[in-house]
Amino acid sequence: MAICVNARTAFSLLFPPILGEFGWERGVTAGAFSFGFVVSAVLSPLLGRVMDRRGPRFVMEVGVVTTAAGLLLATFAGQPWHIYLTLGMLVGAGTTFTGYTGQALFLPNWFVRRRALAMSIAFAGVGFGSIVMLPALQTFVERSGWRAGCTLLGVVALVVLVPLNLLLRRRPEDIGLAPDGDADTPAAAQARRVNVVDPAWAAIDWTLVRAMRTARFWWVAVAYFAALFAWYAVQVHQTKYLIETGFDAQQAAWALGAVSLAGVPGQIALGWLSDRIGREPVWAIGSLGFLLTYVALLALPSYPGLPLLYAMVIAQGALGYGLTSVVGAIPAEIFESKHYGPIFGTLMLSALAGGAAGPWFMGFVYDRTGSYAPAFWVAIGCCVVSAFAIWRAAPGSVRVVAGRVRAAQA
């Protein structure tokens, strides 16, 4: 997670020197990042099926090799379509396999009582990687160029991740355990069923077709689209926006890394909180984090300075990135079944479509108006829509979290 997700995030650092070298329009260049999300969205339903059939080791290794190939081949780029093919399609697809989408397809199998906390700890690796990798990469790119930075990232991904992913297993039953590290016994299975609120819903053998016939499926799809629209729009354009607002390149790179660092305690804390109060309020808190991020960015030209920059970093990282702690838990609790892979993969199609639309839309609006402000307001609206949609999906009406089970028993 620390390496592969940040290989995609690094596009924000590569964006300014690529613009400087080629002089392309921002919308055209940022479109490469968006194109990667489009490809990832198309692959997501297939990814769920492959995970069900071949397991995480196969999926992760394919993702690592694809990511490294995209980074290494990008060094030969000379035309926009080269960037679309390499940093867009290959890196986008590869990091989808190894990042949040791929990990969320099998990690929920391993945990029930502390599902969100466990996933938030795993995803917090992204933050640790960001604060180390991104400022170091910015310095390396300034000294050696963006092509050398791509080469370095590609080599690191291959050397570190190919052997590490050999340790992965699909589910705890593969090694004689049950979720949460329990022994695989009938008593343990019964204990895991006490969180069911709607037995009739939970008893359905959910397939993708059945899930798509429910309103809950589409509310989650809307929420994921809107959330990733807001998330990746700011992630891609933040560095360039901060530089144009008056911050130097190193401060902008620090801010990008610090967002992920702030996300480490934020993700863990919100994951812990989610296992006690539910998924819906924590998703709303994460959406509020991105809303406040855009408010801070809109205010920066009028109130430039580090205090507002710090506020933006904290809101985006400590609150906004908390969405990752429940992004896998929400559909797992609504549509838990042996066919979960295709269901989650299809939901992530909507999420990745949002991640594709956001950066492109931001660049398009800037190219046409000379300002990011109108697009920032659209992203604020997406934050509100996303929070509302998860409340409508109501995962807590299907399965209640462990904290609420204990409170009810008490």
Write down the pLDDT at residue 183. 53
Amino acid at 75: T
What CA–CA distance (Å, rounded) separates 246 from 252?
A: 10
Which strand (E) or helix (H) includes residue 263?
A: helix 249-277
Query: In the chain, what are the domains?
Result: 4-167+198-405 (1.20.1250.20)
Write down the pLDDT at residue 301. 87
Write down the pLDDT at residue 244. 85
**Sequence-separated (6 or more) residues with CB below 8 Å from residue 181:** 172
Amino acid at 202: A
What CA–CA distance (Å, rounded) separates 216 from 22?
A: 45
Q: What is the DSSP string of 317-386?
A: IIIGGGGHHHHTHHHHHHS-STTHHHHHHHHHHHHHHHHHHHHHHHHHHHHHHS-SHHHHHHHHHHHHHH
Write down the pLDDT at residue 390. 97
Residue ranges of the chain with per-residue pLDDT less than 50: none
Write down the pLDDT at residue 137. 83
Write down the pLDDT at residue 298. 93
The predicted model scores a pTM of 0.74
Tell me the residue length of the chain.
410
25: exposed, middle or buried (Cβ count in 10 Å: 0-12, 13-18, 19+): middle
